[in-house]
């Protein structure tokens, strides 16, 4: 007797040469996930990161430091749970694995949350923060100010990331003459702290750079943990070159931000901070001086108006046609003063 066809398997496997739409393929993936017994009622332990919520649901990422899993709890279910979640909380979750067909995304939808305590990762960061604070690594007295007009800027970031181009574009929009040297570095994962630190050491010791920008284009909390390590903090603190961090995040500052001489919120902001426009700077400095000179000249005229009136009769008899000599003297004095100030300004900044 012939075996009955495996209709369930046939429903999943596409026919030879069949071309599926995205919706059709996502539906098939969802059917596999939903019919997998091993994915029903799973229990998973990890640390909560990137938590945010709205009126509908609570969203967060569960991580063990090496891998991540998106999670979602409906708001009405979370309100009935005896749990208060926040970033850094270690939890045991029990629930189902779900595949969202419209977004092509797998996540864990827990129906039970057991709070274990503070996660190892969060606790380690807090301990390091306290230790480095006691060492004085965050003190303002340790900070260096980058030069106003650097000739060469070093950048430690991934050559494959957008941060590299954001920094380059921001710098050259301000001053196209700045030379930029990019040191490729791994910016997430277990190898990232060593890679970032080595990049800082290389630029600081082997290259003649006026400032160093260190960073990446943002990411989840777990992806940014390289910037919460002592290895990177020490490289920043011991560098002789002023260092600006540009990690592209908006939440609490990372340890690298606290140690750095200046922390920018994005790579673009870091580039704009490092390289200032010479023309804009000179304009901003000269304009107030011109206004002061004009005001001083008006005051000079007012104070000497009476004396000029008294001497006018005598001066008219000997002066050539045109302005009286007193006006010549005042105009020459003002022009000389303006010339001296502009010369001093250029000598001081160029």
Q: How many domains does the chain have?
A: 3
Look at the block and give the residue holding tokens 């020490």.
234
Residue 68: inside a domain: yes
Tell me how far apart the alpha carbons of residues 325 and 328 are, in angstroms, rounded to a whole number: 5
Name the more confident of 340 and 261. 261
Read off the pLDDT band of 248 (50, 70, 90).
Answer: confident
In this prediction, residue 3 carries a pLDDT of 47
Q: How high is the mean pLDDT of the chain?
A: 82
Residues 265 and 151 in one domain: yes
Residue 4: inside a domain: no
Read off the pLDDT band of 346 (50, 70, 90).
Answer: low
* Overall average pLDDT of the 338-350 stretch: 61
Residues 289 and 344 in one domain: yes
In this prediction, residue 2 carries a pLDDT of 44
Residues 6+ apart with CB under 8 A from 122: 47, 87, 88, 89
Question: What CATH number does the domain containing 70 carry?
Answer: 2.40.50.140
In this prediction, residue 218 carries a pLDDT of 78
Tell me how far apart the alpha carbons of residues 121 and 289 are, in angstroms, rounded to a whole number: 55
Asked whether residue 279 carries a pLDDT value surpassing 70, the answer given is: no
Tell me how far apart the alpha carbons of residues 198 and 133 are, in angstroms, rounded to a whole number: 23
What does DSSP assign to residue 182?
E
Residues 218 and 294 in one domain: no
Buried b (16+ CB within 10 A) or exposed e, 239-257: bebbbbbbbbbeeeebbbb
The residue among 274, 306, 331 that closes a domain is 274
Residue 177: inside a domain: yes
Residues 263 and 146 in one domain: yes
CB 19 within 8 A of CB 76: no
Asked whether residue 193 carries a pLDDT value surpassing 90, the answer given is: yes
* Overall average pLDDT of the 101-126 stretch: 85
Residues 134 and 91 in one domain: no
In this prediction, residue 196 carries a pLDDT of 96
In this prediction, residue 229 carries a pLDDT of 93
Residues 44 and 155 in one domain: no
* Overall average pLDDT of the 225-230 stretch: 91
Name the more confident of 265 and 118. 265
Question: Coil, helix or strand for 6?
Answer: coil
* Overall average pLDDT of the 305-320 stretch: 58
Question: What CATH number does the domain containing 235 carry?
Answer: 3.40.50.2300
Residues 93 and 50 in one domain: yes
In this prediction, residue 119 carries a pLDDT of 67
Asked whether residue 15 carries a pLDDT value surpassing 70, the answer given is: no
Residue 1: inside a domain: no
Report which secondary-structure segment, H or E, holds 51: strand 42-53
Residues 270 and 282 in one domain: no
Residues 65 and 131 in one domain: no
The angle at the Cα of 248, spanning 125 to 229, to the nearest 5 degrees, equals: 25
Residue 12: inside a domain: no
Q: To the nearest whole percent, how much of the chain has pLDDT over 90?
A: 46
The maximal CA–CA distance of the chain, rounded, in angstroms, is 137
In this prediction, residue 324 carries a pLDDT of 53
The residue among 254, 274, 294 that closes a domain is 274
Encoding tokens for residue 110?
């827990």
Residue 245: inside a domain: yes
What does DSSP assign to residue 139?
-
Closest by Cα among 215, 234, 230 to 154: 215
Burial, 320: exposed, middle or buried (Cβ in 10 Å; 0-12, 13-18, 19+)?
exposed
Name the more confident of 67 and 290. 67
Asked whether residue 313 carries a pLDDT value surpassing 60, the answer given is: no
In this prediction, residue 97 carries a pLDDT of 92
The residue among 99, 118, 137 that closes a domain is 118
Tell me how far apart the alpha carbons of residues 305 and 270 are, in angstroms, rounded to a whole number: 53
Tell me how far apart the alpha carbons of residues 43 and 272 are, in angstroms, rounded to a whole number: 48
Residues 61 and 150 in one domain: no
Name the more confident of 266 and 190. 266
Which of the given ranges, 61-65, 113-117, 226-230, has the highest pLDDT on average? 226-230
Residues 330 and 267 in one domain: no
In 54-104, DSSP assigns E strands to 57-63, 68-74, 89-100
In DSSP terms, 99 is beta-bridged to 106
Residues 136 and 265 in one domain: yes
Domain that holds residue 57: 20-118
Residue 9: inside a domain: no
What does DSSP assign to residue 178?
-
- Whole-angstrom CA distances from 349 to 43, 159, 279, 338, 342 are 64, 33, 12, 17, 11
Asked whether residue 5 carries a pLDDT value surpassing 80, the answer given is: no
Residue 345: inside a domain: yes
pLDDT tens profile 195-224: 999 999 999 998 899 999 999 987 777 778
């Amino acid at each position: 007797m012939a075996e009955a066809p495996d209709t369930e398997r046939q429903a999943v496997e596409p026919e030879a040469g069949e071309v599926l739409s995205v919706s059709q393929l996502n539906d098939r993936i969802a059917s596999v996930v939903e019919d997998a017994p091993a994915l029903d009622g799973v229990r998973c332990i990890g640390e909560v990161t990137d938590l945010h919520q709205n009126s509908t649901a609570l969203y967060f990422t569960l991580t063990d430091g090496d891998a991540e899993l998106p999670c979602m709890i409906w708001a009405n279910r979370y309100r009935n749970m005896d749990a208060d979640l926040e970033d850094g909380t270690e939890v045991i979750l029990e629930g189902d694995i779900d595949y969202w067909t419209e977004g092509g995304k797998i996540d864990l939808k827990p129906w039970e949350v057991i709070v274990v305590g503070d996660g190892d990762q969060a606790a380690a960061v807090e301990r390091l923060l306290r230790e480095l604070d006691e060492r004085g690594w965050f003190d303002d007295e340790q900070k260096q100010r980058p030069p106003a007009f650097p000739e060469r800027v070093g950048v430690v970031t991934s050559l494959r990331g957008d941060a590299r181009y954001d920094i380059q574009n921001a710098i050259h929009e301000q001053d196209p003459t700045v030379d930029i040297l990019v040191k490729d570095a791994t910016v997430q994962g277990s190898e990232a702290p060593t890679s970032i630190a080595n990049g800082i050491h290389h630029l600081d010791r082997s290259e003649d750079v006026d400032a160093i920008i260190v960073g990446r284009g943002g990411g989840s909390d777990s992806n940014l943990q390289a910037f919460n390590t002592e290895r990177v903090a020490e490289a920043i603190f011991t560098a002789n070159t002023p260092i600006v961090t540009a990690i592209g995040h908006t939440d609490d500052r990372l340890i690298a931000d606290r140690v750095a001489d200046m922390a920018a919120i994005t790579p673009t902001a870091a580039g704009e901070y490092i390289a200032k426009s010479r023309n804009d700077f000179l304009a901003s400095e000269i304009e107030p001086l011109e206004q002061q000179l004009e005001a001083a000249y008006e005051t000079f005229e007012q104070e000497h108006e009476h004396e000029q009136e008294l001497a006018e009769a005598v001066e008219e008899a000997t002066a050539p046609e045109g302005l009286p000599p007193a006006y010549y003297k005042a105009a020459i004095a003002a022009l000389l003063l303006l010339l001296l100030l502009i010369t001093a300004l250029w000598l001081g900044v160029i």
